[in-house]
Structure 1
Amino acid sequence: MSTDKLVPNDPRVKYESTQVNGKTYSYVLGEPTTGGESKGLVFLVHGFPDLSFGWRYQVPYLTSRGYRVVVPDQLGYGGTDAPAAAEEYTLKKLSDDVAALARKLVGDDGQIILGGHDWGGALVWRVALWHPDLLRGVFSVCTPFSASNPQFFALEDIIAAGKLTNFTYQLHFKGPEVEEKIQGEDKVKQFLNCMFGGHGANGERGFDTAKGVLFDNLDKLSKTRLLSEEELNHYVERYMAHPAPQLRGPLNWYRTQRLNWEDEKELAGRPGGVKIETPALFIAASGDEALPPSMSAGMDKYFGKLSRDEVNASHWALTQAPGEVNKSIGAWLDELDGGAKASL
C-alpha cells in the first residue's frame, strides 16, 4: 500500500513557533485538505531520538480525513528550546507545555485528540491525567500506560532485581557517556542512523536494549532503510541547530525518574486512584524490543474505555508500518466521531 508522507520542509504544511511557559516551541501545522470544516485538532507528540518529522506519514493521512494537525518538536529537539537542566523535562512540566500550546490553538474551552509515540506516548498518558478536560481522545503507539508506584524504586535497582531488563539501555542514556561521545555532525549522523535501525554487513548493530550504544560499531553500519539520505540529513540538520552537546536535551528525558515520581504523588493520592476516563487507544508493535507488547498487560484497569490494536513492526512502527498504523488510528477516530466509515 502506497502511503503519502511529508518530505523535509514540505510546502503542504506550515512551520510555526510560539512562546509556551517561557520556552519557545516550534511546530508543524497541517490544515484539512478536504475543503470542509475541520473535524477537530489532532496533536501529535514524538519520542526519542525523533522529531516532529517522525509523524510524516500520519500528517497527510489525518489532514486528508478533515483534521487539523499540530506536531511540535518536543523540548530539547529541533527548533524548540533545549534547557540544560533535567528538572525542566519532567512529565508534569511537559504536560503543562502541551496543554498551554493546545490552548493557544483551541481556546480555553476547546478539546484536542492527542497521540504519542515512545516518550511521546508516556507524555500523552500523563496529559490525560493532569489535563483531562483538554482531551476528546488519547492514543499511544508502542508505549503502554504505567501507573506510578507509591514507593520509589530506582531503575538501577529494578534492573538489578531482574525486572525491566529491556530498559537497561536507559541507564546508558541517562549517564554522561552518550552525551559526551555523540557530538558534532558526523557522530550525530552515525548515532541517528544506528537508532533508526542501521546494520553492518555482518549484522553489527549500533544499539542494544541490554547495553545501550555500541560506539565501536557506529562507523560500520550501512544506512538505515527507514530514512532516505535526504531525510537522515534533515534529522542531522535539526539536531545541529543546538550547540554541543547536541543530545543533552533529548537525553534529559531519561534523567527524570525520581522527579516524575515526586510529581505524581499527587496523582497517586487521588480518591479512587489513577484512572483515565478519556476514550483511549493503544497500538502495540509486535517486534518492539524496547517496549514489547507484553508490557501492556494489565493496563486496561486504569481506563474507562480502552481500545487495543497491534501492528507487525519494530519500535519504528510510524514509518515501518504506516498504512497499518494509520488504519488503526482511522478506525478509532471513526468510533470517536460517531461511526463514520474509514477511508484509506
Structure 2
Amino acid sequence: MLDATASRFYTTPMTTPPSRPDATPTQRRYHYLDHRPPAGIPERATLLLLHGFPDFSYGWRNVVAPLKLAGFRLIIPDLLGYGLTSSPPTSAASTAPGTESRLAEYGGRAISIDLNGLLDHARAAQGSEYGAESLTSDGRNGRVIVLCHDWGSWLGWRFAQWYPERVMGVAGLCVPFQAPTSKYLSIDMVVKNVPNFGYQKFFSEERSTKIIEQHLERFLAIIYMIPGLFSADSENDEEIRDWHLLGKLEKLITMPEFSDIPLKYLGRMILDGEQLAHYERIFRSRGMEGPLSWYRTREVNWQEDRALTSKTLPESLPALLISPKDDVAVPPAMGKTMLKHVPQTEIIEVAGSGHWVQNELPGVVVQHFKEWVERSVLPNEKKGSGMLGWLRSKL
C-alpha cells in the first residue's frame, strides 16, 4: 500500500531535545510521502499533513487524490514513533542498560524542530505559486499550509507557534488550539476537569503498551469504529457507549465479559478487512510504545512551552477548525473555546461523522478545506499579511 514513487526519508542532525539539553545527542529518521499535482495542473501551494493516534501517513489516503487535483503538493510524514519513522525507546523495559529514556524527543517543540528540517529536506514550496517568496537558493525556508488531525492537530498548532514564518495557515480536524498553561497539569487533573479524556489516563501509563499490543487487532478495530471510541451515537449499553471514560476502554479490550462482545454490535468498521490487517501489520512490526509515548509527554511539553514568546497564534494567521458533531472525545463545544485565544478561527461543524472525519467524510473535508484556502489563506498571502504579519510581530 506504500506509494514507492512518493516515498522519501529525512535524517535529522545530531541534536538534544529542548527540554533535555544535557542528554546524549541523537538522530531520528523520518519517512514521508511527497505527492505533487498531476502533469498539467499548476502547483498552487504545499501542504504539510500531520496524522494522529493510532495512525500514520496512510491515514490521509482518502484526501490525497482530490487535493493533488486541486493543485496542492502534499508532504505527509510518518510522525515520530509511527510507520517507517524512528521510534526512540522511552520505557525502562525498552531502554538498554546504561542508557536513558528518549521521551523528551517526543515533545512538541522537539518534533517541530524535526519537521522544520524535513520541510527543508523536501524543499517545500519550491515550484509553488504561494509560499516560495522566502525560499533560499538551496530550497530552504519555504512556507506551507498545515492540514492536521488529532495529535497531529495539536502538533500543527504548536508548529505554527514555534515556526510562524513557515506557515500560511492551519486547518485542524477535531482538536482545537490549546493555549499553554502557566502551571503543570497532571493527567489526573485533566481527566477530573475533562472526563471524556478518561481513555488518555490509560494511554499515559507504561503498562498500557503491553496490554494494547496483546489485544492489538481488537484495539484497532474498536478505535476505527462508526460509532466508536470517538463517536457519541452508540445505542449499545452504557459500558460500551461510554468507553471513552476512565477505565472503560481497558475493560473493553481485556475483560472476558466485554471482549466476548462481537465487534459488529459495537459499530461499523471504517477500515475494510485488508486495511485493518495493514494497520495491524504496521503497528505490530514497530510496537505501540512510540505512538503511546505522545500521551506521556505532558511534563515535557509544559517545560518546552515555557519558552514560547507568545501563548497564542499570530493574529495574521488564518485558522480553521473542522469539528465532527459525533466526536465525544473532543466535542464541538471544546472547539468553541479556541475563539478566546485565536479569535480569527473559522469553525465548521460537520454532521454525520465521528473522530475520523477525513476518512468518514473525505469529500466534505476537502471541500471545506479548499473553500477556506480560497477564502482566507490565499487572499491573506496576496495582500502580504502572512509573512509581513509575522515580521511585524518580531519588530
Which TM-score band (shorter chain)?
A: 0.7 to 0.9
Q: For 1:211-226, list aligned pairs within 5 A.
A: 211=247, 212-213=249-250, 214-215=252-253, 216=255, 217-218=258-259, 220-222=261-263, 224-226=268-270
Mean Cα deviation higher: 323-332 or 19-28: 19-28
Give distance in 2, aligned partners of 1:206 and 1:180.
25
Equivalent-residue separation in structure 2 for 1:241 and 1:206 (angstroms): 31
Confirm whether residue 9 of structure 1 aligns to residue 12 of structure 2: no
What does residue 388 of structure 2 align with? none
Residue 294 of structure 2 aligns to which amino acid in structure 1?
W
**Mapped contact 1:206–1:221 kept (Cα < 8 A):** no
- Aligned residues: percent identity? 31
Shift of 1:220: 3.5
Task: Report the TM-score, using the length of structure 2 for normalisation.
Answer: 0.76
Do 1:201 and 1:222's aligned partners in 2 also have CA atoms closer than 8 Å? no
Q: Does 1:188 align with 2:246?
A: no
Q: 2: distance between equivalents of 1:78 and 1:241?
A: 9
Can you give the 5+ residue segments of structure 1 that lack an aligned partner in the other structure? 1-7, 340-344
Is it true that 1:231 corresponds to 2:275 in the alignment?
Answer: yes
Alpha-carbon offset, residue 92 of structure 1: 0.8
Task: Tell whether 2:370 aligns with 1:330.
Answer: yes
**Structure 1's 308 and 55: CA in aligned 2 closer, same or farther, altered over 3 A?**
same
Change (3 A) 1:337 1:194: same
- Alignment map for 1:101-116 (pairs within 5 Å): 101-105=118-122, 106=124, 107-116=139-148
**What does 1:173-322 correspond to in 2, within 5 Å?**
173-183=203-213, 187-197=215-225, 205=240, 208-210=243-245, 211=247, 212-213=249-250, 214-215=252-253, 216=255, 217-218=258-259, 220-222=261-263, 224-242=268-286, 246-267=287-308, 270=309, 273-276=311-314, 277-303=316-342, 305-312=344-351, 313-322=353-362
Range 300-309 or range 81-90, more displaced:
300-309
Match of 2:104 in 1: 87
Alpha-carbon distance change, 46 to 219 in structure 1, aligned in 2, over 3 angstroms: farther
Aligned partners of 2:50 and 2:148 also within 8 Å: yes
Shift in CA distance, 219/103, structure 1 to aligned 2, threshold 3 Å: farther
CA contact (8 A) 1:197 1:226 kept: yes
Comparing 123-132 with 279-288, which one deviates more in the overlay? 279-288
Give CA-to-partner distance per residue, 1:172-203, whole Å, 9 cap, x none: 0011332112226xx32221111111779977
1:145 counterpart letter in structure 2: F
Q: Distance in 2 between matches of 1:41 and 1:95?
A: 17
SS class of match (1:129): helix
Separation (CA, whole Å) in 2 of partners of 1:207 and 1:89: 29
Q: Deviations over 1:98-143 (max 9, x none)?
A: 1111122223231011111000000000000000011111110000
Q: Distance in 2 between matches of 1:275 and 1:179?
A: 34
Once the two structures are TM-superposed, the CA of residue 338 in structure 1 deviates from its matched residue by 3.9
Change (3 A) 1:324 1:109: same
Q: Which residues of structure 2 form unaligned runs of 5+?
A: 14-26, 91-102, 125-138, 229-233, 381-395
The one-letter amino acid paired with 1:236 is: E
Contact 1:27 1:70 in 2 (8 A): yes
How far the C-alpha of 1:304 sits from its partner, in A, is 6.3
What is the CA–CA distance in structure 1 between the aligned matches of 2:81 and 2:260, rounded to whole Å?
Answer: 25
CA root-mean-square deviation:
2.4
Q: Secondary structure at the match of 1:240?
A: helix
Letter in 2 for 1:67: F
Shift in Å at residue 206 of structure 1?
9.8
Looking at structure 2, the residues matched to 218 and 326 of structure 1 have their Cα atoms a distance apart, in angstroms, of 36
Q: CA deviation at 1:41?
A: 1.0
Report the structure number with the largest CA radius of gyration: 2
| Native 8 Å contact 1:194 1:207 kept in 2 | no
1:169 aligns with 2:174: no
Counterpart of 1:325 in structure 2: which amino acid?
V
1:2-151 matches, within 5 Å, as 8-10=1-3, 14-21=6-13, 22-33=27-38, 35-85=40-90, 86-105=103-122, 106=124, 107-151=139-183
Task: Work out whether residues 338 and 345 of structure 2, in 8 Å CA contact, stay in contact via their aligned partners in 1.
Answer: no
Aligned residues: 321
Q: 2:337, 2:8 → 1: CA distance?
A: 40
Q: Structure 1: which amino acid aligns with 2:168?
A: R
